[in-house]
Structure 1
């Protein structure tokens, strides 16, 4: 994730006026599959044209200018789930955190690309986030960690799909509960003003100040991309080959695109079945 991202749910019942999407049972941040699908479609329409036949075949059609007016597309998306979460570190600027539950869930969904399972409170032997005494300080919390070769192997495996060169130096495996606490409370919360267009001052009638929640830059999420059969054959290619060839290296997801928010780098594991 290149810039902070707000995939919102409208208004919230908590202290944040505009919270991000979260899983009900874990409270982990997520991006709904419908949001992802719409953003990828918009990106490809900007590149290839809005009424391109292949886009309709890939993403589906509702009243398009084809012989069959309504049909489902060949591409399917799962919700994007958290894999790595950046946390401010006393040493090394920030750490990439994950937890055993996240790794186990990733493996259950990606049987053809299994990540090494690792113990909690471990870091790489080449880590740069540990203090001289061996502790890692994330925000105001101190963690006593140990160095483990399994973290190096996990970082090597993850780097193949996410492309983070210094992941081995920054990676830490937190306990499930502590990871949940960080992803629940360490997102970015920005306070903004509503401005009256006529006066150019704060619009006190509509409440003035409001808060927005963002997933921080450097967050890493993953989604499953599913390829089915379209109602017509793609010209000289398959839906998977067409998507990989035409997808952009970066797309915009979520709100506040005019403020530079939601710029996301897209990585595809082309070897996945």
Structure 2
């Protein structure tokens, strides 16, 4: 088994909804039951990747089935025969055995949880906000190698409530000397800035995982994230992810009258653009040698699927769900 970190960076508002709300928001986003922090279900990530893979001619249907699992809902005798025929059409002329009808997918996706949440800032336009709980949970669940949160690079959080840990050259701070003792105003809430020891190095490590690469574009965004990164206390972060999401009013127009239909007004919630979520994907090769793919091939296929921005969640026709996805690591 091998594991990689999945990083999702929302380029437009992202809606992974629950289907129905109980409050004033008709279509809320999915949230963790205990913490109330938003998440993107692993099933949604897997489904979107499978949909993209099914339209990629360079990926053999046999590998698609091995990695993402057989399609039970649309399986038919005709499709089974077609699948069996495709399995025999190997370039080397050899004959593959037909795939079995039931087996588990080789790729396993966890939920992707919010790690960096964009919040309006009086200075620097916006801040990428996180908190000690989120970072320590990431370190525990993902591991120090993939997350970058090693013992030597542990997240340096604020010393007390009302403080905001920032980089020494943060663009979020007004007043203070090198970011220390100044004011950070996030969505109207005031914080006192502090620059913990090692914050700049740690922020750079995290930025390199969100925006990997050494080209000019990657380096530019790494610097933007580091200077806008802000760690607040757990309660403040929870308030932000509950109260500072994007809520839009939608209406349905009656074609005959040109006015809003009865009951045609609703409110839907989205994670704002620039939200960063992280989760895991594991490749567990099949025990049956006839349907086993090596790790290198599995990661190659998956990497090819996320080399361009993709659609995640719902509301694609109104511009929601465009995201940049990439993989980090590869340790077993």
When normalised by structure 2's length, the TM-score is 0.77
Q: CA deviation at 1:50?
A: 9.2
How do 1:179-218 residues align onto structure 2 when only pairs under 5 Å count?
179-204=237-262, 207-218=263-274
CA distance in 2, matches of 1:270, 1:72: 24
Specify the alignment match of 2:225 in structure 1.
167
Specify the alignment match of 1:118 in structure 2.
156
Rate the CA distance shift 1:254–1:198 in 2: closer, same or farther, 3 A.
farther
Cα distance per residue 1:208-238 (max 9 Å; x no partner): 2100000000000001011011341338953
Work out the number of aligned pairs and report it. 271
How do 1:218-229 residues align onto structure 2 when only pairs under 5 Å count?
218-229=274-285
CA RMSD of aligned residues (A): 2.0
Question: Residue 71 of structure 1 aligns to a residue in which SS?
Answer: coil
Q: CA deviation at 1:41?
A: 0.8
1:135–1:145: 8 Å Cα contact kept in structure 2? yes
Larger Rg: 2
Specify the alignment match of 2:7 in structure 1.
none
CA distance in 2, matches of 1:131, 1:267: 34
Specify the alignment match of 1:137 in structure 2.
185
**Structure with the larger RCO, 1 or 2 (CA within 8 Å, 6+ apart):** 2
CA distance in 2, matches of 1:211, 1:50: 39
Specify the alignment match of 2:89 in structure 1.
none
CA distance in 1, matches of 2:135, 2:297: 31
CA distance in 1, matches of 2:309, 2:255: 33
User: Any stretches of 5+ residues in structure 1 without a counterpart?
Assistant: none
Question: 1:15 is matched with which residue: 24, 29, 42?
Answer: 24
Matched, 1:234 2:286: no
Question: Residue 157 of structure 2 aligns to a residue in which SS?
Answer: coil
Specify the alignment match of 2:49 in structure 1.
40
